[in-house]
Chain A
Amino acid sequence: MPALLELEQAYAASKKDKEFQAELGLLQKTYIGRPTPLYLAKRLTAQLGGAKIYLKREDLAHTGAHKINNAIGQALLAKKMGKERLIAETGAGQHGVATATGAALVGLACEIYMGSDDVARQSLNVFRMRLLGAKVHEVTLGSRTLKDAINEGLRDWTTNVRTTHYVMGTVFGPHPFPVMVRDFQSVIGREARKQILSAEGKLPDYLIACVGGGSNAIGLFYEFLANPESPAPNPVRMIGVEAGGRGISLGEHAARFAGGSVGVLQGTKSYLLQDDDGNVLGTHSVSAGLDYAAVGPEHAFLRDTGRVQYAYATDDEALAAFEQLSRTEGIIPALESSHALAEAVKLAPKLSNDEIIIVNLSGRGDKDVQHVARIKGVQL
C-alpha cells in the first residue's frame, strides 16, 4: 500500500510537471516515432467489400507495438522517483522489450518476468530483452503464462519496493496502474481522432481493438468515449475483441466477458475466469498477449454500461486474419492484433461503403513468425 500511495502522488505530480510532459512529448516524437500513421487499407477494404478500413499503425512505433507508449512514460516517472531498477511482467514479450528499452533509455537496471510457456513461443523477444540488457526470469509456476508472470513481478516488487518500480504493462493491477497506463496509451486515440478527421472530415463509425488486459483498446477508445461531435444516437461504436482460443469451454479460451464472472485478482476487481470457489482458471490463446484470466477494470465498466461491445475471435479466425493482412496489405500483424482484424473481417462486409472502421494494429507480427511456422508445421 505505501508504494501505491507513493506512486499515485508521483504520477499526479508528473501530470502537472511541465518539464516531465515536455520530455515525454519529445521522446514520443523523436524516439518512439509518434504520431504513428493512420493507414487506409484499400485492398483489404476492397476484398471485404463493405466499410472502409483504416489501420492505426502502432506496429510502426519503436520496438514494434503500442507497449512502448506506457513503458517510456513509466520509465521516466521511475527515474524521477529516484528508483534504481525497473521490473515488469510480459506475455508476448512486447511489454518486456518495451520496458527493457525504457530502462536502457533512462539508465536503470531491468528484470523481466515471463511465463515459461510464453518464453517458448516468443523466444525472439526473450533474446531482444537480453540484448537490451535486461535479465529475464522464466516463471514455471501456475499456468506459466502472463498471470503468473504478474504474480512473480508483484512478489519481487513487495520485496524490493524501496529501490524498484514495477512497470505494469496493462490497464490492470491496483490503483493507480489502470489509470496511469490508460493515460500513457491514450495518445493512440488522440492521434487517431485528428487523423481521421483530417482524412475523412468525420469520426469513424467503429473502433476495433483486441483486449488482453486491454491497454491498446483503452488507448484507442478513451479519446472517443466522451465524443462531443457525434452524440447519441450516433456515437462512435467500439468493439473489444477477446481471445476465443479453441472455443468457449473451460480452460480453452481467454474470453472473460463470455465465460467469466466478477472477481478480485492482483489488486483489481473485474471480470475473471474462475471456478465456483474463486480460484483462477487456466486459459488458452494462440497469442501470448491475450492469454490472461482477467481484464482491465475499466473494460468491465464499459461493458456493464453497454458503451463498448465485447466479442471474441478464435485462434483459427485470428490466424486467418494474420495471413489475410500479410498477403493483402503487405503488413504482418501481431497475433494479438489479428484478433481485432478477425472482427473487422466479420463486420466490414455487413456495413456500407461510406462507413468507417478503425482497427488498432497494436503490434507487428515479426515476433510471431516462428510460432505461426510451428503451428503450420513449417520447419524454419
Chain B
Amino acid sequence: MKSRITKKFQSLRKDRQKAFIPYIMAGDPGIRRTRELAHILEDCGADIIELGVPFSDPLADGPTIQAAAQRALSGGTTLHTVMELVASLRAVTQIPIILMTYYNPIFKYGDERFIADASAAGVDGMIVPDLPPDEAEGIMELAKKRPFDTIFLLAPTSTEERISKVAHASRGFIYYVSITGITGSKLTLDPSIETHINHIRSVSDTPIAVGFGISTPEDAAMVSRFADGVIVGSAIVKRTSDPDKDLKKYLLALRAGIQ
C-alpha cells in the first residue's frame, strides 16, 4: 500500500518538482488556528504538512518550538486531540500529513493503538527524533501493514553503517538534518552535504528531504538543488501569529525558492 507521501513524491518526481514541507505545532495557539494554518499552508503550495505534537521535553528542538510546545500543552493539546484534528481535516483535504513528536507520548498511548488510530484518522507517517530505527522494530512492523510511513533521521555525522541502516528503515522519505544541532539554529551548510546526500542516494531510492535551520527563501533554494524536499519549521512557527497576509507572502516566497 503506497502512502500519500510516496504518491506525492512520485508525482513530484515525474514533474521534476521538489517538495515543500512546512512544519507547524498543533494546538499553538489553539486547535482552531492549526486548522486555519493547515489550509493556508496548502493554499501556499505546501506538498506535505508536518504537524508537531507537543511534548514537555522536546530534546531536538530549539527555543521557538519549545515555546510553541509549551503554549500548545497549556491549551490542553494531546496526541489524541491532534489525531482528531487530522480526522476532521480529512473531510476537506488529502494533503499528506506527518506527525512529528517524541516517543514517550506514543509509548504511553501504546504503539499498536497509536499506529491504528493515527492511520484511521488519516495520518500518513511519523517522525520521532528520539526513536532511532535500532529501537523501532516493533513499531515499524506495525506501520508496514498500513499506508503509514516511518521516517528516520540522518545527520552530517552519520557513518556509512548508520546511513545504510536508516535509509533502509525509512519509508516515505529520509529526513536529512542539515546541521549538527537543534531546530531553529542558524543554517551553516557543511560543504560536504552534497557528497553526503549523493552517498545516501547510492544506497537508497527513497526521497530525501532536508530540514533544520532553513529559514529564508534563499536557504530553501540552495537546499532544494540537491534535496527532494525542503522542511521549514521554526521560521514558520515564529510567524504563525503574524497577519495572514504577511504569513502567506513568506510562505509563497519559500515555495518559489524551492525548485
Residues of A bordering B, CB below 8 Å: 1-3, 5, 141-142, 147-148, 151, 154-155, 158-162, 263-267, 272, 274, 276-280
B244 lies within 8 A of chain A by Cβ: no
Which of A3, A142, A151, A278 interacts with B107 by CB under 8 Å? A278
B56 lies within 8 A of chain A by Cβ: yes
B66 lies within 8 A of chain A by Cβ: yes
Please provide the chain B residues from 46 to 70 with a CB less than 8 Å away from any CB of chain A in the complex: 54-57, 59-60, 62-63, 66
* Nearest CB in chain A to that of B132: its residue: A1
A264 — which chain B residues lie within 8 A by C-beta? 103-104, 107, 130
Which of B55, B103, B109, B158 interacts with A2 by CB under 8 Å? B158
Main secondary structure of the interface of B (DSSP, over half): loop
Q: Is there an interface contact between B109 and A278, defined as CB atoms closer than 8 Å?
A: yes
Q: Is there an interface contact between A155 and B182, defined as CB atoms closer than 8 Å?
A: yes
Q: Is there an interface contact between A266 and B180, defined as CB atoms closer than 8 Å?
A: no
B185 — which chain A residues lie within 8 A by C-beta? 159
A2 — which chain B residues lie within 8 A by C-beta? 155, 157-159, 162
Contact (A263, B108) CB under 8 Å given A279-B55, A279-B73, A280-B56 = yes
Q: Is there an interface contact between A278 and B66, defined as CB atoms closer than 8 Å?
A: no
- Within the complex, the shortest CB–CB distance from B77 to chain A, in Å, comes to 9
Q: Is there an interface contact between A277 and B57, defined as CB atoms closer than 8 Å?
A: no
Please provide the chain B residues from 101 to 115 with a CB less than 8 Å away from any CB of chain A in the complex: 103-109
B108 — which chain A residues lie within 8 A by C-beta? 263, 274, 276-278
B132 — which chain A residues lie within 8 A by C-beta? 1
A272 — which chain B residues lie within 8 A by C-beta? 104
B79 lies within 8 A of chain A by Cβ: yes
Q: Is there an interface contact between A162 and B103, defined as CB atoms closer than 8 Å?
A: no
Q: Is there an interface contact between A161 and B157, defined as CB atoms closer than 8 Å?
A: yes
Query: How many residue-residue contacts, CB under 8 A, span A and B?
Result: 79
CA distance A279 to B53 in the complex (A): 11
Extra contacts, 13 of them, besides A264-B107, A280-B56 (Cβ < 8 A), are: A1-B134, A1-B158, A2-B158, A2-B159, A158-B59, A159-B182, A263-B107, A263-B108, A267-B130, A274-B108, A277-B105, A279-B56, A279-B104
- Within the complex, the shortest CB–CB distance from B49 to chain A, in Å, comes to 22
* Nearest CB in chain B to that of A261: its residue: B108
* Nearest CB in chain B to that of A279: its residue: B56
Q: Is there an interface contact between B55 and A278, defined as CB atoms closer than 8 Å?
A: yes
Q: Is there an interface contact between B182 and A158, defined as CB atoms closer than 8 Å?
A: yes
Contact (A263, B104) CB under 8 Å given A1-B132, A151-B59, A154-B59 = yes
- Within the complex, the shortest CB–CB distance from A213 to chain B, in Å, comes to 15
5 smallest CB-CB distances across A and B, nearest first, come from A278-B108, A278-B105, A159-B181, A279-B56, A278-B104
B216 lies within 8 A of chain A by Cβ: no
B62 — which chain A residues lie within 8 A by C-beta? 155
* Nearest CB in chain A to that of B105: its residue: A278
Q: Is there an interface contact between B181 and A158, defined as CB atoms closer than 8 Å?
A: yes
A279 — which chain B residues lie within 8 A by C-beta? 54-56, 73, 104-105
A3 — which chain B residues lie within 8 A by C-beta? 157
Which of A158, A267, A277 interacts with B78 by CB under 8 Å? A277
CA distance A159 to B57 in the complex (A): 17
- Within the complex, the shortest CB–CB distance from B62 to chain A, in Å, comes to 8
- Within the complex, the shortest CB–CB distance from A256 to chain B, in Å, comes to 14
Which of A5, A142, A161, A162 interacts with B57 by CB under 8 Å? A142
Which of A142, A154, A155, A276 interacts with B56 by CB under 8 Å? A142
Contact (A161, B180) CB under 8 Å given A147-B57, A151-B59, A266-B59 = yes
CA distance A161 to B177 in the complex (A): 14
CA distance A305 to B50 in the complex (A): 41
- Within the complex, the shortest CB–CB distance from B52 to chain A, in Å, comes to 14
- Within the complex, the shortest CB–CB distance from B112 to chain A, in Å, comes to 15
A161 — which chain B residues lie within 8 A by C-beta? 157, 180
- Within the complex, the shortest CB–CB distance from B39 to chain A, in Å, comes to 26
CA distance A279 to B72 in the complex (A): 12
A266 — which chain B residues lie within 8 A by C-beta? 57, 59
B105 — which chain A residues lie within 8 A by C-beta? 277-279
Q: Is there an interface contact between B180 and A159, defined as CB atoms closer than 8 Å?
A: yes
A162 — which chain B residues lie within 8 A by C-beta? 157, 180
Give 23 pairs: A residue, B residue, CB < 8 Å, sorted on A. A1-B158, A1-B162, A2-B158, A3-B157, A151-B59, A154-B59, A158-B60, A159-B180, A159-B185, A161-B157, A162-B180, A263-B104, A263-B107, A265-B57, A266-B57, A272-B104, A277-B79, A277-B108, A278-B55, A279-B56, A279-B104, A279-B105, A280-B56
CA distance A278 to B108 in the complex (A): 5
- Within the complex, the shortest CB–CB distance from B60 to chain A, in Å, comes to 7
- Within the complex, the shortest CB–CB distance from B83 to chain A, in Å, comes to 12
CA distance A278 to B77 in the complex (A): 12
* Nearest CB in chain B to that of A160: its residue: B180
CA distance A267 to B132 in the complex (A): 10
Which of A151, A154, A274 interacts with B104 by CB under 8 Å? A274
- Within the complex, the shortest CB–CB distance from B10 to chain A, in Å, comes to 30
Contact (A155, B59) CB under 8 Å given A2-B155, A279-B73 = yes
CA distance A5 to B55 in the complex (A): 26
Most chain-A Cβ atoms within 10 A of its Cβ — which of B59, B104, B158, B162? Answer: B104
Which of B66, B80, B134 interacts with A141 by CB under 8 Å? B66
A158 — which chain B residues lie within 8 A by C-beta? 59-60, 180-182
